[in-house]
Amino acid sequence: MGLPVVDFSSWHNVKDERSRQRVAQQLVDACQRVGFVRIINHSLPEGALDEAFEWMKRLFALPEEDKMKAPHPAGWAVHRGYSWPGLEKVTQIMSTDGDGDVKKKLREVPDVKEVYDIGSEDDTSQPNQWLPNAILPGFRDFMVQFYSECDRVGKEILRAIAVGLDLEDAEYLTRKHSGNSNQLRLLHYLPVPAEDLEKDRVTRCAAHTDWSSITMLFQDDCGGLEVEDISRPGTFVPAQPVKDSIIMNIGDLLQRWSNDRLRSTNHRVSLPTLSDRIGGPDRMTRERFSIPYFMSPDDEVLVECIPSCMNDETPAKYEPITRGDYNKMRMSMMY
């Protein structure tokens, strides 16, 4: 199962409405069948992704004491700054009463990655945790601009989804996404013995769905992302890296909004298919860098069924919920 590919070049031709409609329909069809799609010929500036990965590598190559000058705040409510290996545990389990034992059990198999989370500079509820400029000059300026560019491209995708869902108002979704609640993640998966992954002593990122409306993912050439084959539950298929493409997937909120018409599909990061195989017990995985960008509505936005996704025969499946309340159920289990 290869990921469906959608060429966005025609979407930018505002004079050719038929071509734009075709792109929108291809996008929604892929999100119905697979939940994941590879987008090519998007409008991110040329060279922006190469520069972003270079900044990431410089960031994670810093000494630990430097990275710890912008630490992830204590607790789960704020999702910003540097998370050291073992701090975060991605899980599909939601918060329940008496979840302390569950959290402890989850962390018996740690995630071997380090993370730097960035949000909007205008989000006062989760202020960014920046390194001092003297440690990595230019990093903050670039990432603020990159965050903005990703928001712009993400809104183009949301417009196309709205058109593909036959909404009369193409801005139905973008109006609910100011950009203040998006999240830019810089992810570094550490080299580990391949045997530790194979025998489940550690994980890179366990199977999960995203909490967002949509996610845009940028990968290096290492590989390791796997997407569940909906026709064969429990079977995961590699999503191979393709330079300068965007892997876009539907998140939980847009699945709820669309009344399950669009799929929020399980995915994970496992042993890369391009692992370095040194031989014997010492064979090691390659390190991996990736950048997910999560598009989410503001906390107070009510997620309720999109009008074109329900009728008398197919009523709304989910009770309305705010994005803030949904996130609390997911975030509290991660830290």
State the residue range of the domain holding 59.
5-334
The CATH code of the domain that includes 271 is: 2.60.120.330
Q: Which residue has the tokens 């402890």?
A: 104
Spatial contact of 2 and 214, defined as CB atoms under 8 Å apart: no
Q: What is the DSSP letter of 193?
A: B
Convert 55-67 to b/e letters by CB count within 10 Å (16 or more is b). Answer: bbeebbebeeebb
pLDDT, average across residues 266-273: 76
- Average pLDDT over the chain, rounded to an integer: 86
Kindly give the residue spans of alpha helices, DSSP state H, lying in 89-204: 100-106, 139-164, 194-198
What is the token pair recorded at 210? 């995203």
Tens digits of per-residue pLDDT, 273-308? Answer: 544 444 555 677 788 899 999 999 998 999 999 989
pLDDT(246) > 90: yes
- 89 vs 30: which has the higher pLDDT: 30
d(CA 272, CA 121): 34
pLDDT(107) > 50: no
Helix (H, G, I), strand (E, B) or coil at 176: helix
d(CA 299, CA 322): 6
Q: Which residue has the tokens 């191979």?
A: 240
What residues contact 118, with CB distance under 8 A and at least 6 apart? 80, 128, 143, 147, 183, 184, 185, 186
**Tally of domains in the chain:** 1
Q: What angle do CA 41, 181, 146 make, to 5 degrees?
A: 40
d(CA 204, CA 192): 10
d(CA 194, CA 272): 9
The number of residues in the chain equals 335
pLDDT(256) > 90: yes
d(CA 230, CA 212): 20
Spatial contact of 167 and 176, defined as CB atoms under 8 Å apart: no
Concatenating the DSSP letter of every residue in 240-278 gives ---TT-EEEEE-HHHHHHTTTSS----EEE-S-TT----
Give the pLDDT band (50/70/90) at residue 64: very high
224 phi-psi bin (left φ>0, alpha ψ -120 to 50, beta other) = left
Return the bridge partners of 237, or none: 227
Tens digits of per-residue pLDDT, 164-221? Answer: 999 989 999 999 999 999 999 999 988 877 676 666 666 667 788 998 999 999 999 9
